[in-house]
Amino acid sequence: MASLSSTTSTAAGDSLRSFSGLRRETSILRGIAAADAPASQLRRRQLGVVRASRTSPRLNGRKLRVAVVGGGPAGGSAAEALAKGGVETMLIERKLDNCKPCGGAIPLCMVEEFGLPLDLIDRRVTKMKMISPSNVAVDIGRTLGPHEYIGMVRREVLDAYLRGRAAEAGASVINGLFLRLEQPEG
């Protein structure tokens, strides 16, 4: 990962730390950390379910059931992977029509890796500066190639799409609030 750092002052006299060139390789090598391997030996990281079946796997004769709490990108993706693997999956989200103000920036490599259709992307950003509350600035885009971009998506659209894929794979999507887990003794 390349990282360049500099410090400048704002008009108010505050110190503003700026970082550019932040980009991490998305490759791994079997059994060896990517940072220790020569670039020629790296392969593209592959995500996916190893074994997919429509019957639920069993553990000690019991059918596996999983509740995924939270229907954001991680929850939707986890529910999809579990359902594809044959695990009875319930995805619980408290607000299915949630319109989150948080960022929906997705690097181009992740659009492909997650298998997202390009029509989910609202804007293709090539330059952006983010400044944290503690005045740390990150220049995004300095390391992008000429045809690379950061895809901006609306979170409610992305979340709904990933939950839909989980449902297509067999997960039950439940609009509800998770309060507690009761587990029988023994």
| CATH number for the domain harbouring residue 162 | 3.50.50.60
Within-domain flag for 126: yes
Q: Which helix (H) or strand (E) holds 9?
A: strand 2-9
Residue-level pLDDT at 171: 97
- Pair 91, 160 in one domain: yes
Better-scored residue on pLDDT, 128 or 167: 167
In this predicted model, which residue has the larger pLDDT, 24 or 143? 143
pLDDT digits (tens, 9 = 90+) for 117-129: 999 999 998 888 8
Domain annotation covers residue 49: no
Return the percentage of the chain with pLDDT > 90, whole number.
30
The answer to whether residues 92 and 1 belong to one domain is no
Cα 24 from Cα 35, distance rounded (Å): 10
Domain range enclosing 112: 1-23+105-153
Residue 32 located in a structural domain: no
Same domain? 91 vs 162: yes
- Pairwise CA distance, residues 48 & 69, whole Å: 21
Tens digit of each residue's pLDDT (9 = 90 or more) over 74-88: 999 999 999 999 999
* Whether 6 and 93 share a structural domain: no
At which residue do the structure tokens 């587990």 appear?
183
Is the same domain home to 92 and 163? yes
Q: How many whole angstroms separate alpha carbon 161 and alpha carbon 69?
A: 17
Q: Are residues 93 and 160 in the same domain?
A: yes
Query: Looking at the structure, do residues 149 and 161 belong to the same domain, yes or no?
Result: no
Residue 103 pLDDT > 90: no
Please check whether residue 174 lies inside any domain of the structure: yes
Mean of the pLDDT values across residues 144-169?
91
The model's confidence at residue 61, banded by pLDDT at 50, 70 and 90, is confident
Q: Indicate if 4 and 83 belong to the same structural domain.
A: no
**pLDDT reading at 167 higher than 80:** yes
Give 138's pLDDT tier (boundaries 50, 70, 90): confident
* Structural domain includes residue 41: no
Return the percent helix, strand and coil in the chain, to nearest 5. Answer: 20, 30, 45
Does the reported pTM lie above 0.75? Answer: no
Are the beta carbons of 170 and 89 closer than 8 angstroms? yes
The pLDDT, as a whole number, for residue 139 is 84
Give me the number of domains the chain comprises: 2
CA dist., res. 118 & res. 54, Å (int): 29
Whether residues 109 and 146 fall in one domain: yes
The answer on 93 and 1 residing in a single domain is no
Whether residue 169 sits in one domain with residue 146 = no
